[in-house]
Amino acid sequence: MNLRVSVVVPVYNEGEAIVPVLDRIFDSVESDCDIFVVVDSEDDSTMPVLRRYAERQPHLHPTVNTYGRGPANAIRFGIDAVNSSIVVVTMADGSDDPKQIDALARLVDRGVVVAAASRYTAGGQQVGGPLVKGALSRWAGLTLNSLARVGTHDPTNSFKAYSVEFVREVGIHSRNGFEIGLELTAKARRLRRPVAEIPTIWLDRTAGMSNFDLKGGIPHYLRWYRFAFGPQLSISELHAAAAAISLQDPKKEERHD
């Protein structure tokens, strides 16, 4: 029997460029799959393209995020909207390999709460992309895996599958950028919940521009990087600690460093 998996894709003004990405996902995934493409407003250039696509593909769900602008809120909204026990987050730029969605979902079905597609484990690779961003991401992954034992060499990669029950249990406190993947990996580690990975080959986008803000995103990533280190927490202790983190102002932390 096929798994049932929901795929969440945060989008910002991709327009027609979203079509080949959706085609590849629907062509590649063998599980029963619904795709929730999440935009911040009806005015997004992707929305009319999505509505036309959905007319011939009922498993596509054009979704307008009401939690606030930005990818973190779009991902939060998408996960809350899904109708399955497994969710996979993937990007709209075509950099992720949709053929691996099934493998990631099967890991969650077998009991892990976070299944990561890893560029930095054996057999993985990153092709293209900004050098500084790649170097920082690799360093974070290698140190978190070896020192904090988070269960993956690539906790910052957004291409991950999650147990929806786990995500709703721990909550998502990020409100900026793409740090949700790191946040949920760090929370799994502090609860001592299982995390697993498979190697992936990440290809830089060939059209359009990335919306990732390296300078603005680093302070937010650092909060969850530090959080991954520490003793096991109960779920109530985790909620209290994560809430305290979410109240911090990364800009102030950056100025005080």
Buried b (16+ CB within 10 A) or exposed e, 9-42: bbbbbbeebbeebbeebbeebebebbbbbbbbee
Q: How far apart are CA 133 and CA 119, in angstroms?
A: 13
Which string of DSSP letters, residue by residue, matches 129-178? S-HHHHHHHHHHHHHIIIII--S-S-TT-S-EEEEHHHHHHH-----STT
- Domains of the chain (ranges; CATH) run 4-256 (3.90.550.10)
Q: Are 203 and 95 in contact (CB under 8 A)?
A: yes
The pTM (predicted TM-score) of the whole model is 0.90
pLDDT (tens, 9 = 90+) of the chain, 257 residues, equals 579 999 999 999 999 999 999 999 999 999 999 999 999 999 999 999 999 999 999 999 999 999 999 999 999 999 999 989 999 999 999 999 999 999 999 999 999 999 999 999 999 998 987 777 778 888 889 999 999 999 999 999 999 999 999 999 999 999 888 899 999 999 999 999 999 999 999 898 655 555 555 555 688 899 999 999 999 999 999 999 999 998 875 544 433 33
Instruction: Give the three-class secondary structure for 21.
Output: helix
For the chain, the distance separating the N- and C-terminal CA atoms, rounded to the nearest angstrom, is 53
Dig out the tokens for 221 from the structure: 């990533």
Residue found by looking up tokens 């993947």 in the block: 181
Amino acid at 77: F
